[in-house]
Amino acid sequence: MHVAVCVKQIPDPSVAPRLDASFHLERTAKILLDEADAYGVELALQLVESAGQGQVTLVSMGRDSDVTGIRGALAMGATSAIVVSDEGLRGADALTTAKVLASVLAELNADLVLAATESSDGYTGTVPAQIAELLGLPALTFATTVQVADSTVTVHRQTEDGFDEVRAPLPAVVTVTAGAVEPRYANFKGIMAAKSKTIEVRSLNDLGLSALAQAWGEEVVGVTPSPSRQAGTTIVDDGQAVSALVDYLDSIKVL
Amino acid sequence: MTTLWVLCEPKGSGVSTTSLELVSEARRLDGDVTAVTWGDHDVATELGRHGVSTLWHLGSFADQLPAAPVAAALAALLADQDIDGIVIPASYDGRDIAGRLSARMDRPVLTNVTGLLVDGGLVTEHPLFGGTMNARARVTSPGVAIIVVRPKSFAIEDRGAGAATVIPAPTVSSTVAVASIVHSSITERSGPALEDASIVVSGGRGLGEASAYALVEELAQLLGAAPGASRAIVDAGWVPYAYQVGQTGKTVKPTLYIACGISGATQHLVGMKGAQHIVAINTDKDAPIFAIADFGIVGDAKAILPQLIAALRARV
Ligand SMILES: Cc1cc2nc3c(=O)[nH]c(=O)nc-3n(C[C@H](O)[C@H](O)[C@H](O)COP(=O)(O)OP(=O)(O)OC[C@H]3O[C@@H](n4cnc5c(N)ncnc54)[C@H](O)[C@@H]3O)c2cc1C
């Protein structure tokens, strides 16, 4: 079984994000693997392990100057990685990202393509569906459990009021929610093995997609601070806080 | 003149609340609203009442994920239309449909939209960094803009108009293998629905353990409120996903939101900062939730909640 996992390296989310003059996220913070992607990597490893054989290929778009996050996923056990890196993709929109990833995925021809439901920094949340459409594949999105048997994938898909059990033939695209599986920590052996695993870097030109460079059809025209909510009163609980809270609830007429 | 079409998502025997919000906003921007829907129920009366004059019906698509067939039929329909944009609810299916439509039509998609305005063309507003900043974006290449709008961005307006005229759209067969819905499971919950409740009491990791969530439920019941949760405790399995408030959960806009043991991460805040009044209980005086709370208590939620419950019980 060959599972491809779309992963993204993002600036450390614990560092407050900032925008540069052209409204792109400043990438000065440490670059990490998006935590949301760890679930897809773990699931891929589990599926290949239970199939008895196969490989897990990581596919990513982003700068190749720092690939620590990708190495981390290889240390978890993924087989190899392909990173598409090109100055012409800086600030790329969701559709361009999907076209780039789909072009690599088309070549890999994996049985299953996994991705997170959305990235933690951009959270457009449309890239997996765009990839599925570009590849002509079904997409089972927002999966909380995933099972593969007899060339069929079955998932529990989150809904507004519970879940649906959804099924499609392979190959398919599946997006996994946080909590679907428990990502493993890379052990020493994994970390050592990852050092010699292949991270193949490709440019737009290598993919025959030079026309995509800086060619997306949307732009940010401005960013302004939102009218902020004023903080109200904060009191320290000294045993009397509840009666003050009840007075407050009375004053806003909700009791 | 800006022409916006609205994709209306079926829900129960009608359409989703977000669909009605989008219809109401489209009606404010453009006098004559065209909507598109699918499914097995007649929604022409409900949509007509909210201002839709023409309603395209794409097909039934029962027992399958609708994204692929809806996007295929919608792309074919839009190919012959000279419109500025199509607005789509930011739901699970809405997001998938928008993604597929974008790929099929080779058009960009603008997501997480909370505002629309016309300023030399259609401009979308997007909250950034938990809503502390607001970005404005627009589509630069000629053609339809695909716009995914978050729930509770616009008020619903009932215009009391007659039923919309329904036109069946040409059938288009999608070449994508069907994703079948084998079974649907609904999480039973008592009290008002989270999205519609006028009071929401939410719990987070600060409650310490799953059993302490009972305090949140008890307070909610006393107040006629819906219990909610941060993602931390949904991921931990304390409560079902249907309770989650935030970017990847529900957007709520109640009169009162009470956050117990919730830090106030930006992804939580985008789902609740539209509440009229916010109360926060947290042991950390520097927790970000206090920056947007109208009334904050620095204290232990597990001590304060039982006292509050007792005080409220004593009043009735
Ligand atoms: C892509 C993405 C999407 C996300 N979507 C969502 C979403 O939809 N909704 C969401 O909520 N989160 C979401 N998150 C997660 C979010 O970033 C936070 O991790 C999460 O909201 C934290 O939950 P919490 O406040 O319960 O836990 P914590 O951040 O751990 O906070 C616990 C708080 O409890 C306080 N506390 C501890 N003990 C007590 C006590 N005894 N009494 C009172 N207070 C106490 C602590 O001071 C702390 O402030 C998302 C994250 C990502 C990356």
Using a CB-CB cut-off of 8 Å, the residues of chain B touching A248 are: 279, 294-295
Mean pLDDT (chain B, rounded): 95
In degrees, to the nearest 5, what angle opens at C-alpha B282 toward C-alphas B276 and B284?
125
pLDDT band per the 50, 70, 90 thresholds, residue B234: very high
Mean pLDDT for A178-201 is 95
Q: How far apart are the first and last CA of chain B?
A: 56
| Distance of alpha carbon A31 from alpha carbon B53, whole angstroms | 50
Mean pLDDT for B179-194 is 89
What are the structure tokens assigned to A188, written together?
């020493």
Whole-model pTM: value is: 0.91
Residue A118 inside a domain? The answer is: yes
- Residue A155: helix, strand or coil by DSSP? strand
Of A136, A140, A217, the CB nearest to B179: A140
Instruction: Calculate helix-pair angle for B92-105, B67-78, nearest 10 degrees.
Output: 50
Of B179, B235, B308, the CB nearest to A168: B179
What is the predicted pLDDT for the residue at A20? 82
Say which residue, A228 or A140, is predicted with more confidence: A140
* Cβ distance of B187 and A161 shorter than 8 Å: yes
Say which residue, A226 or B312, is predicted with more confidence: B312
Of B92, B95, B138, the CB nearest to A219: B138
Residue A245 inside a domain? The answer is: no
What is the predicted pLDDT for the residue at A14? 80
Say which residue, A106 or B174, is predicted with more confidence: A106
Residue A176 inside a domain? The answer is: yes
Best of A130, A181, A250 to disrupt the B interface (most B CBs within 10 Å) is A130
| DSSP letter, residue A97 | H
Overall domain count for chain A: 1
- Protein residue with its CA nearest to atom 31 in ligand 1: B263
What is the predicted pLDDT for the residue at B20? 98
What is the predicted pLDDT for the residue at B190? 74
* Cβ distance of A164 and B184 shorter than 8 Å: yes
Question: Is it the case that residue B116 has pLDDT exceeding 80?
Answer: yes
Q: Is A225:B133 a contact under the CB 8 Å cutoff? A: yes
What is the predicted pLDDT for the residue at B132? 80
Question: Is it the case that residue A122 has pLDDT exceeding 90?
Answer: no
Using a CB-CB cut-off of 8 Å, the residues of chain A touching B176 are: 132-133, 136-138
pLDDT band per the 50, 70, 90 thresholds, residue B174: confident
Mean pLDDT for B129-152 is 91
What is the predicted pLDDT for the residue at A230? 80
- In B267-286, which positions are buried (b, 16+ CB within 10 angstroms) versus exposed (e)? bbbbbbbbbebbbbbbeeee
pLDDT band per the 50, 70, 90 thresholds, residue A2: very high
- pLDDT (tens digit per residue) in A195-248: 999 999 999 999 999 999 999 999 999 999 887 778 899 999 998 999 999 999
Among all chains, which residue has been given the structure tokens 């499914």?
B39
Chain A residue whose CA is closest to B133: A225
Q: Is B231:B237 a contact under the CB 8 Å cutoff? A: no
What's the CATH code of the domain at A79? 3.40.50.620
Amino acid at B89: P
Judge whether A224 is closer than 8 Å to chain B, CB to CB: yes
Q: Are strands A199-202 and B4-7 parallel, antiparallel or unpaired?
A: unpaired
Residue A107 inside a domain? The answer is: yes
Position in ligand 1 atom list of the atom nearest CA B230: 11
Judge whether A159 is closer than 8 Å to chain B, CB to CB: yes
What is the predicted pLDDT for the residue at A28? 77
What is the predicted pLDDT for the residue at B179? 98
Question: Is it the case that residue A27 has pLDDT exceeding 80?
Answer: no
Q: Are strands B180-186 and B165-168 parallel, antiparallel or unpaired?
A: unpaired
**Structural domain of A24:** 2-212
List, in order of start, the domains of chain B with CATH numbers.
4-168 (3.40.50.620), 199-315 (3.40.50.1220)
| Distance of alpha carbon B91 from alpha carbon A129, whole angstroms | 13
- pLDDT (tens digit per residue) in B271-281: 999 999 999 99
- In B14-34, which positions are buried (b, 16+ CB within 10 angstroms) versus exposed (e)? bbbbbbbbbbbbbbebbeebb
Residue A52 inside a domain? The answer is: yes
Residue A249 inside a domain? The answer is: no
Report residue A140 CA to chain centroid gap: 15
What are the structure tokens assigned to B56, written together?
């395209």
ipTM: 0.94
Nearest-Å Rg of the Cα atoms of chain B is 21
Question: Is it the case that residue B1 has pLDDT exceeding 90?
Answer: no
**Lowest-pLDDT range, A78-87, A227-236, B28-37?**
A227-236
Judge whether A169 is closer than 8 Å to chain B, CB to CB: yes
Report residue A107 CA to chain centroid gap: 21
Residue A228 inside a domain? The answer is: no
What is the predicted pLDDT for the residue at B54? 97
Mean pLDDT for B39-67 is 97
Residue B96: Cβ within 10 Å count: 30
| Distance of alpha carbon A115 from alpha carbon A180, whole angstroms | 12
Chain B residue whose CA is closest to A14: B265
Best of B70, B146, B184 to disrupt the A interface (most A CBs within 10 Å) is B184
Residue A144 inside a domain? The answer is: yes
- pLDDT (tens digit per residue) in B58-87: 999 999 999 999 999 999 999 999 999 999
SS3 sequence of chain B? CCCEEEECCEECCEECHHHHHHHHHHHHHCCCEEEEECCCCCCHHHHHHCCEEEEEECCCCCCECCHHHHHHHHHHHHCCCCCCEEEEECCHHHHHHHHHHHHHHCCCEEEEECEEEECCCEEEEEEEHHHCEEEEEEECCCCCEEEEECCCCCCCCCCCCCCCEEEECCCCCCCCCCCEEEEEEECCCCCCCCCCCCEEEEECHHHCCHHHHHHHHHHHHHHCCEEEECHHHHHCCCCCHHHEECCCCECCCCCEEEEECCCCCHHHHCCCCCCCEEEEEECCCCCHHHHHCCEEEECCHHHHHHHHHHHHHHHC
